[in-house]
Amino acid sequence: MAADAGIGRLLISSLHQGIADVSPNRLDFYENWLSPAGMRDGRIGLAPLGAVLSFLHREEAPANEQIVERAGRHAADWTFDDLSALRRWYISRLPTGMRARAALGLGKKLILATVRESKVRSRIQGNSAGIDINSALFDQLRDPATIPMRAFYASAIERLLQHCAIDAEVTITNDQPGAWSLAITVRGPRQVEAANAA
Mean pLDDT of 183-196: 73
In a 3-state reduction of DSSP, which class is residue 55? helix
Average pLDDT over residues 45-55: 80
**Whether pLDDT at 98 is above 90:** yes
Q: 9-197 maps to which CATH number?
A: 3.30.1380.20
pLDDT of residue 101: 94
Instruction: For residues 132-144, give the mean pLDDT.
Output: 73
Q: What is the DSSP letter of 142?
A: -
In this predicted structure, what is the pLDDT of residue 158? 96
Beta strands in the chain (DSSP E): 118-125, 128-135, 166-176, 179-189
In this prediction, residues 153-158 reach a mean pLDDT of 96
Q: Confidence band (pLDDT; 50, 70, 90) for 163? A: very high
Q: Which amino acid is at 198?
A: A
Using CA atoms, how far apart are residues 194 and 198, in angstroms rounded to an integer? Answer: 6
DSSP code, position 33:
T
Provide the pLDDT confidence category of residue 31 given band limits of 50, 70 and 90. Answer: confident
How far are the Cα atoms of 23, 126, 169, 195, 196 from residue 165, in angstroms, in the given order? 30, 16, 13, 7, 10
More confident residue, 74 or 146: 74
Which of 41-50, 125-134, 159-168 shows the highest mean pLDDT?
Answer: 159-168
User: Mean per-residue pLDDT for 154-171?
Assistant: 95
What does the pLDDT read at residue 143?
64
Q: What are the phi and psi torsion angles at 35 (to 5°)?
A: -75, 150
More confident residue, 141 or 162: 162
**What is the reported pLDDT for 194?**
44
The domain spans of the chain are 9-197
Q: Residue 61 has what pLDDT?
A: 72
Q: What is the pLDDT of residue 1?
A: 33
As a whole number, the mean pLDDT across the chain is 84
Supply the pLDDT for residue 33: 82
- Whether the pLDDT of residue 59 is over 70: the answer is yes
Which pLDDT does position 177 carry in this prediction? Answer: 59
